[in-house]
Structure 1
Amino acid sequence: MPIEKEVNPHFEEFIFNWDHKFYFLVGGYGSSKSYHVALKLILKLLKEKRTALIVREVYDTIRDSCYSLLEEIVTEMELDDRIKFKTSPMQVKFHNGSKIIFKGMDKPAKLKSINNVSIVWIEECSEVKYEGFKELLGRLRHPILPLHMILSTNPVSKSNWSYKHFFIDSKKKIFTLDDKELYKNRIAIINNTYYHHSLADDNLFLPKSYIEQLEDLKTYDPDLYRIARKGQFGVNGKKVLPQFEEWPHYKVLEVIQSINSPIKRVGMDFGFETSYNALLRLAIDDEEKILYIYWEYYKNQMTDDKTAVEIAEFIETQELIRADSAEPKTIKYYSQQGFNISGAKKFQGSRLQNTKKVKRFKKIICSSNCVNTIEELSDLTYAVDKNGEIIEDEFNIDPHTLDIPA
């Protein structure tokens, strides 16, 4: 018996396309991306005997999202005689032997029992940790059938792993796809990934009042407007350094040379395993109250002796390095090697004081060569408490380049 279902035209090609391993869907609120992923799965599993896995970061959120969406579609299409739903544990079984299982990344041990999964759908993939994504890639395997992974999400910060992996990772100098190109073309295919961008306008079943409600966000919450209405990646939250700008390297050097008596500073923060050795050269235009960042060293998992070799130019120049005083043994080592280095005092609340000092500059101009500094500071936002109030000395990431004493 043929199946008939009215769908939004922007998703029609996506529903029947199974030519690629990865499908990455990003869009604004109400765009119907999750609905059409669920429909795509149902149609595929009716046609071929497969096991599909649906994942969210928190297992308890699946029942009211993906699971109920699948139920809704099956009811609409009158497929109850061919598709059955089980609630404990959640599972969907098809008359041809296909099935859908559900797991949460908050219970990673449950993933170990999964076998022969040929399709994975990660709903709200930006909420899943990168390690979880890699774990799921390892669970995606079948001896015969082609493998597919579908990732759907509302746009988040560009510091999120999903953006870095599928679009641009400035720190690792990896360029896969410019997200602006996706917003323009709506659909893109790069390597083995099918990209799909959608907006509320693409959902012909939405009431006009819903779209008008999204439009209202433009006047009182521009960040949420970008996410919900435009479906675009960017900054989520209040920026710590809204005056931060990136300039071409040559231009930064030219301007520094033209400053009357610039104040030069060098600051260093120490790190090893997950933290980083961050060393910056700064120049201050005290008259104009502009901070220039024109040189960086940024590495981790480096022993002190190896780092000393890589920054040996500072022994020759004898520039004073103001370093993290929490590492007196490290400072002493560099001093013995001939570096002009001293510890800057740290105290309770010193991060807040340092942040306030940096925020006083009218502009913060960073050289395009300082890619790690740009990565950390351009979209740095404040953390918020449970009431939504900003925490002035906590951020969305641990910014090593902001922690340098100078």
Structure 2
Amino acid sequence: MVEKEVNPHFEDFIFDWEHKYYFLVGGYGSSKSYHVALKLILKLVEEKRTALIVREVYDTIRDSCFALLADIADELGLYSTRKEKGKIQFTSSPMQIRFPNGSKIIFKGMDKPEKLKSVHNVSIVWLEECSETKYAGYKELTGRLRHPTFKTHIILSTNPVGKSNWSYKHFFKNDKTKYHVLNDEELYKQRIMVVNKTYYHHSTADDNLFLPEDYIEQLDDLKNHDPDLHRIARKGEFGTNGIKVLPQFVEAPHEEVMNKIRAIKKPLYKNGMDFGFVTSYNALLRLAIDHDKKILYIYWEYYKNQQTDDKTAEDIKEFKVSGELIKADSAEPKTIAFFKQNGFKMKPGKKFPGSRLQYTKKVKRFKKIICSSNCVNTIDELKDLTFAVDKQGEIIEDEFNIDPHTFSAIWYALDDYEVSDLKGNSVRSMSKSELGL
């Protein structure tokens, strides 16, 4: 019998084993990882089980999860590096933890997924920093989680990241697919919730009674010079990480967008297409421009992959009927030739050294970018699109956190248009009747 003081906010979590999934999200220093590790040790001391601890990169486990478990075992007076009666044995090469009752903890990295195939009879999985792994990796782990007699559990812990991350889309909501489990704002209020088979737990540095005051002061100070990091580290909340590429991008109901387009005195209509197949997408957008007010409207999208050109041509045949011009990715001349031979009015969008940066700056010059609620993939890609950063933390103005195919489609559509002015007669301005508006 040992006594261990814990943070009150985690007491219920430590002893709760009624649920299949446990999702812990919180700010820096909230002690979520500590209490997951303690929860595991207490369970494996009580029952003979095999637990699997996973991070995206195997080499990061030694100084994080393994070291944390060793510290806790030492605090409990149970730590040993050799076989001692009643003690927990820690072996560093290979990393493994063995308990007196036959329980054990093994460690794997998702950077070596082939090694997961050797894992058997695991009844508890802890996926630390789950947002760093890929969704496919998470699904692989759930498939490995099975035991003939014990209830199985998977524990996921993470600092909050952008809402485009799979962990948010899977455990909270995905606007693109209209999938909705839980509003994260509700979790921040309730702190602990159970929805379906998942136990949700939110924590901040305030929940860790053992933190020094100066550490909390450092977190508070982030508000003055790094608001994004303050939201993540201090408040433990999801959101957009980094500098938004299109801060003027907004979503509006489809009919509202169409009414605004009909009210434009001299609208310009543009169509742009980016090509993709395996992991990338064919993205085709219809745009309308209010040149006087410098507003770009996005009101229609086509977004599919794993499609051969003939199937795509069938899907978008309305463009052949209407005779609408499509500006497309010039890097795919064979694909453009195919569509032209099949009756589509398609031309290559201009590409040149530095065109990615110039096109990005062009789109940013619109005062507003209003997107129809029907264009779910465009919203998913562009609403929280952020600039990539280099090793020094400086933004890279023509690279992004994802590969936004709809953004590329906009580039090509606007290649003969300038927000500040029109380039002579090269602009294709179709009438409302041609578009059925």
* TM bracket (short chain): over 0.9
Task: For residue 348 of structure 1, report the CA deviation from its aligned partner.
Answer: 2.9
**2:367 — aligned with what?**
362
Give the gaps of 5 or more residues in structure 1. Answer: none
**1:257 — aligned with what?**
262
**2:241 — aligned with what?**
236
Structure 1 distance, partners of 2:353, 2:325, is: 25
Structure 1 distance, partners of 2:354, 2:178, is: 34
Task: For residue 343 of structure 1, report the CA deviation from its aligned partner.
Answer: 1.6
Alignment of 1:366-377 (within 5 A): 366-377=371-382
**1:44 — aligned with what?**
43
Is residue 2:179 matched to residue 1:180? no
Q: 1:333-371 CA deviation, whole Å, 9 max, x = no partner?
A: 222333222221222322222111101111111111111
Is residue 2:321 matched to residue 1:321? no
Aligned with 1:401: secondary structure?
helix
**2:346 — aligned with what?**
341
Alignment of 1:1-150 (within 5 A): 1=1, 3-80=2-79, 81-150=86-155
Q: Which moved more, 1:111-120 or 1:332-341?
A: 332-341
Q: Which moved more, 1:106-115 or 1:151-160?
A: 106-115
Amino acid at match of 2:158: T
**1:385 — aligned with what?**
390
Does the 8 Å CA contact 1:38/1:69 hold for their aligned counterparts? Answer: yes
Amino acid at match of 2:163: K
Q: 1:400 pairs with 388, 401, 405, which one?
A: 405
Amino acid at match of 1:50: R
Q: 1:119-161 CA deviation, whole Å, 9 max, x = no partner?
A: 1101111111222212222222211111111110001111111
Is residue 2:162 matched to residue 1:162? no
Structure 2 distance, partners of 1:177, 1:219, is: 31
Q: 1:204 pairs with 184, 209, 212, which one?
A: 209
Aligned with 1:403: secondary structure?
helix
**2:306 — aligned with what?**
301
Amino acid at match of 2:73: V
Amino acid at match of 1:280: L
Structure 1 distance, partners of 2:290, 2:122, is: 59
Aligned with 2:106: secondary structure?
strand
Does the 8 Å CA contact 1:241/1:378 hold for their aligned counterparts? Answer: yes
Structure 2 distance, partners of 1:200, 1:48, is: 32
Aligned with 1:402: secondary structure?
helix
Amino acid at match of 1:94: F
Task: For residue 55 of structure 1, report the CA deviation from its aligned partner.
Answer: 1.0
Aligned residues: 405
Structure 2 distance, partners of 1:88, 1:299, is: 47
**2:289 — aligned with what?**
284
Structure 2 distance, partners of 1:28, 1:373, is: 30
Structure 2 distance, partners of 1:207, 1:265, is: 58
Task: For residue 102 of structure 1, report the CA deviation from its aligned partner.
Answer: 1.3
Q: Which moved more, 1:250-259 or 1:324-333?
A: 324-333
Amino acid at match of 2:261: I
User: What is the aligned-residue RMSD (CA, Å)?
Assistant: 1.4
Structure 1 distance, partners of 2:42, 2:36, is: 10
Task: For residue 82 of structure 1, report the CA deviation from its aligned partner.
Answer: 2.7
Q: Which moved more, 1:135-144 or 1:376-385?
A: 135-144
Task: For residue 110 of structure 1, report the CA deviation from its aligned partner.
Answer: 2.5
Is residue 2:196 matched to residue 1:191? yes
Task: Calculate the TM-score normalised by the size of structure 2.
Answer: 0.89
Task: Calculate the TM-score normalised by the size of structure 1.
Answer: 0.96
Q: Which moved more, 1:106-115 or 1:28-37?
A: 106-115
Structure 2 distance, partners of 1:353, 1:325, is: 16
Task: For residue 379 of structure 1, report the CA deviation from its aligned partner.
Answer: 1.0
Does the 8 Å CA contact 1:170/1:372 hold for their aligned counterparts? Answer: no
